[in-house]
Structure 1
């Protein structure tokens, strides 16, 4: 099932947020034309580790299923080419700084005349209005700005960023959701729209629960490592050989935990009897339970607690994750073959959605910057002579 089959996306994004959005759209069936700078291309091509001389694994996994068209958007001819490329009914998405697209006459109001069905999505760092609108931003910077770092890490230690690009990828998902909603609306009204998303808005959105709790109590949350302020025990415990996460979301589960660890006598202690009491005596609860968990191997503890119906997981490293039976049964890891000076296969995670039991995956990859330029420009009606002129002038980069 390809719900976006027939939709064409003009992708003027780079790094993570925008490319993740358009990778999702490609998996959903859209044709995605990625606009890259001649020469260097997307910045993520040059991140480490390198796959031969072509790209990084980050670039490969975020840009599969797309065609590469290399245009110099700082040149008038390049801007003209892009405007000619955009058709009514297309989806245009960019992550340029607010005002940059408009300076190049590539803003929504510039492109919409004659294209009433155009869907236009602009991704920014802080939004397109306000005192910080013109500033650049990256995932960890926004994690600091919106308070994610203030609640992440361990008490008494410096704030820590979440180790995955949750703000970037979340913004990509919100952008994709907005685009899909706009496509659905266009089928009814025939009209497109402008969509605005930002890393700031995504970051504040992830802080929904901490902000609500702070507004109700007036108390700033503290860094608690793997624990949560609302429940106890709901955190990582040391085992004899590693660590496990135990999550008791209610008092019934806690009683099951005590039985599985052969600590049922603790149920009579009022400090352990209710979640509110356990939260109040969090350190006592943790230390008391960990005195037992330290004596058990992770495999044994997981076996016992699962048998008792207690939510539990060993803390896996990535080697364990990609080889995990459940992950493999889910079919999440797909092989993406990278052709370069040193060909390599990369595990690319597929779309976390299945339609009628099928997980869609767009495997194609443009290894070189501008690999598809000539074919795309020919489909626009440009002659080979004109394309060669654009290549010689540096406006376009095309593979021989």
Structure 2
């Protein structure tokens, strides 16, 4: 399986920004030949999201577009549409993430692509889906986090709603798209039929909040903001040690019994307010106040030694630089090194692939420069449309 489980599968990727490129990058990591279609002279908008910049790319382009080939086509022109349809004829998968209705105006909707490739798996990724009363509203990750209820639950209890630091709505949609596509590929092996896939960022975010929605459904109360705490158990949050923040999770009575064997916490052992998990949750304010006084007595490293010995889940709150240099991350190959632009001598580290056990073997293809493979790809169809963007 040196080529990866999707070797021999071709993906025509007309997406830009984040959710769509993430979905197609996963397919490329697994061995598919991903052809990224970009606007001539402009390209994917994430080429201009920054700084920092490397050549014609910003961090989002670099982070979500490895293992692809870039072709420049103007889909608003007859020539560009014809070239896209020619590529679609030889593609197993077509992925787009325009606002609903846009690909129909381009003449590249599911029905149009199915005419040239009857068994195509066509995946549309959008903010709110292809149907519903707000399907046409513009949406990026921030909008979906706000509309979908995640922001209302994120932040300090008395603070303002906050978005997550990572683009979780985009990420969930991208991974959902990749999973749905692979499921459709498996189905096609049996039926010989393609499928239209409607992937919504909002749907993905709602699925991500399954625990919160279940709690609301069971109790009828809207989840509130808890900061770093957990609404269902305590202590499960961050504390300030003598030198830095750390997090601790006591998720059951066995863990609590282990915690209070540490001399610093022994005074809490016989306090009836903390007798079991429901009691600790009810007496959360008093419990957290007591722990907040105890943790500054030692450094985070000292606490981790004691907590590890007691079997209590705990970690320091690391910076990104600490994470990137940690042997757990580097040793598992979770950082990739690219030269970008090609031949520049400029090396960039970026996040690798957690699915590496089934990934294609051999060197990872770095993200393409704009139009880098136009001549190469179109020559394979017997016609060159445009040329590499220099």
**TM-score bin, normalised by smaller chain:** over 0.9
Give the equivalent residue in structure 1 for 2:303: 301
Sort the Cα spacing of 1:90 and 1:398 in 2 relative to 1 into closer, same or farther, 3 A: same
Give the equivalent residue in structure 2 for 1:394: none
Q: Deviations over 1:326-368 (max 9, x none)?
A: 1122111111221269642222222212427x78686223542
Partner secondary structure for residue 124 of structure 2: strand
Asked if 1:269 is matched to 2:259, the reply is no
Question: Where in structure 2 are the equivalents of 1:119-268 lying within 5 Å?
Answer: 119-268=121-270
Contact kept, 8 Å, 1:255 with 1:264, in 2: the verdict is no
Q: Deviations over 1:162-184 (max 9, x none)?
A: 00011101110000000111111
Question: Where in structure 2 are the equivalents of 1:102-117 lying within 5 Å?
Answer: 102-117=104-119
> C-alpha separation between the residues in 2 aligned to 1:268 and 1:125?
52
Contact kept, 8 Å, 1:353 with 1:359, in 2: the verdict is no
Contact kept, 8 Å, 1:51 with 1:342, in 2: the verdict is no
> C-alpha separation between the residues in 2 aligned to 1:264 and 1:399?
68
> C-alpha separation between the residues in 1 aligned to 2:322 and 2:157?
29
Q: Deviations over 1:190-222 (max 9, x none)?
A: 111111101110111112111111121121222
Give the equivalent residue in structure 2 for 1:370: 371
Contact kept, 8 Å, 2:10 with 2:90, in 1: the verdict is no
User: How much has 1:4 moved relative to structure 2?
Assistant: 0.6
Sort the Cα spacing of 1:326 and 1:102 in 2 relative to 1 into closer, same or farther, 3 A: same
> C-alpha separation between the residues in 2 aligned to 1:347 and 1:279?
43
> C-alpha separation between the residues in 2 aligned to 1:316 and 1:122?
37
Sort the Cα spacing of 1:25 and 1:222 in 2 relative to 1 into closer, same or farther, 3 A: same
Higher alpha-carbon deviation: 247-256 or 44-53: 44-53
Partner secondary structure for residue 201 of structure 1: helix
Partner secondary structure for residue 34 of structure 2: strand
Partner secondary structure for residue 7 of structure 2: coil
Give the equivalent residue in structure 2 for 1:398: 388
Sort the Cα spacing of 1:318 and 1:361 in 2 relative to 1 into closer, same or farther, 3 A: farther
Contact kept, 8 Å, 2:336 with 2:349, in 1: the verdict is yes
Give the equivalent residue in structure 2 for 1:319: 321
> C-alpha separation between the residues in 2 aligned to 1:46 and 1:349?
20
Contact kept, 8 Å, 2:11 with 2:91, in 1: the verdict is no
Contact kept, 8 Å, 2:61 with 2:367, in 1: the verdict is no
Q: Deviations over 1:340-398 (max 9, x none)?
A: 69642222222212427x7868622354211111111110011xxxx3xx53xxxxx53
Contact kept, 8 Å, 2:169 with 2:205, in 1: the verdict is yes
Residue correspondences, number: 388
Gaps of 5+ in 2: none
User: How much has 1:57 moved relative to structure 2?
Assistant: 2.3
Partner secondary structure for residue 261 of structure 2: helix
> C-alpha separation between the residues in 1 aligned to 2:56 and 2:342?
6
Contact kept, 8 Å, 1:17 with 1:172, in 2: the verdict is yes
Contact kept, 8 Å, 1:322 with 1:328, in 2: the verdict is yes
> C-alpha separation between the residues in 1 aligned to 2:368 and 2:211?
42
> C-alpha separation between the residues in 1 aligned to 2:350 and 2:258?
38
Higher alpha-carbon deviation: 83-92 or 301-310: 83-92
> C-alpha separation between the residues in 2 aligned to 1:162 and 1:139?
10
Gaps of 5+ in 1: 392-396
Give the equivalent residue in structure 2 for 1:37: 39
User: How much has 1:41 moved relative to structure 2?
Assistant: 0.3
> C-alpha separation between the residues in 1 aligned to 2:360 and 2:285?
43
TM-score, structure 1 as length reference: 0.93
User: How much has 1:115 moved relative to structure 2?
Assistant: 2.2
Question: RMSD of aligned C-alpha atoms?
Answer: 1.8
> C-alpha separation between the residues in 1 aligned to 2:360 and 2:269?
45
Partner secondary structure for residue 100 of structure 2: coil
Q: Deviations over 1:114-171 (max 9, x none)?
A: 5232110000111111121111111111111011011100011110000001110111
TM-score, structure 2 as length reference: 0.95
